[in-house]
Amino acid sequence: MFMPQLCLVPRGGSVNQELFMSISMSSASLPVFQTALSNLKHLLAKGQAHAQAKKFDASVLAQYRLAPDMLPFTRQVLIACDAAKLCVARLSGLEAPKFDDTEATFDELMGRIQKTLDWLHTVPASALDGTEQKSITFPVGKDKTRTMAGEDYLKHWAIPNVYFHVTTAYAILRHNGVEIGKGDFLLGPNA
């Protein structure tokens, strides 16, 4: 099994004093997805509070899209959740929960994020570790699939996909005047 190595050299230290730490598939996936989705939930809470403070229906934000050919805010949230859970399921061999994709309100969307987070917390690290070379085939569009090694799939497809949709949701809220910033995106409620 290939284990990527992170080289840590103490300040003022030399190469002879190197310490090596392994980065596992579980540590490269579960906490990354959990943080991104927790921060997304925080962004939604701020979006909902903004709508209440400005006295408009938050469903306006839920259906907003940045461009005519982009998916609306609601779909950005659902896809971020699905990308995280399906990645973990494909790598681990566990069955991901199935959701109806009927969430339309901010409360329902935050519930969807929480259900995804709850499932991610049940996945043992041992189910993911050692899947670096596992062959993962996944849909890309309506009629095509792609196959990648597990580590490549995680690093070059799944994580960027989650961040793409979280970032797009952030941009929609920010574009519509929700007072959020980089700290909210990176630190969530700890900003």
Indicate whether 183 pLDDT > 60.
yes
Predicted confidence (pLDDT) per residue in 27-86, tens digit: 999 999 999 999 999 999 999 999 999 999 999 999 999 999 999 999 999 999 999 999
Q: Which domains does the chain have, with CATH numbers?
A: 25-190 (1.20.120.450)
Sorting pLDDT into bands at 50, 70 and 90, what band is 151?
A: very high
Q: For position 178, what pLDDT does the model report?
A: 96
Residues 6+ apart with CB under 8 A from 9: 15, 17, 18, 19
Indicate whether 17 pLDDT > 50.
no
Measured CA to CA in angstroms, residue 91 lies from 23, 25, 69 at distances of: 16, 9, 31
- What the block records as the tokens of 132 is 């670096």
Sorting pLDDT into bands at 50, 70 and 90, what band is 190?
A: confident
Predicted confidence (pLDDT) per residue in 86-132, tens digit: 999 999 999 999 999 999 999 999 999 999 999 999 999 999 999 99
Averaged over 147-171, what is the pLDDT? 98
Task: Label residues 80-94 b or e (16+ Cβ within 10 Å = b).
Answer: bbbbbbbbbbbbbeb
**Sequential DSSP letters for 14-38:** -GGG-EEEE--HHHHHHHHHHHHHH
Q: For position 14, what pLDDT does the model report?
A: 53
Helix (H) or strand (E) holding 167: helix 159-175
Tell me which of 17 and 147 has the higher pLDDT: 147
Tell me which of 21 and 98 has the higher pLDDT: 98
Predicted confidence (pLDDT) per residue in 140-149, tens digit: 988 999 999 9
Indicate whether 186 pLDDT > 70.
yes
Of the candidates 142, 166, 63, 78, which has an alpha carbon nearest to the alpha carbon of residue 116?
Answer: 78
Q: For position 185, what pLDDT does the model report?
A: 95
Task: Label residues 132-169 b or e (16+ Cβ within 10 Å = b).
Answer: bebebeeeeeeeeeeebbbbebbbebbbebbbebbbbb
Q: For position 1, what pLDDT does the model report?
A: 47
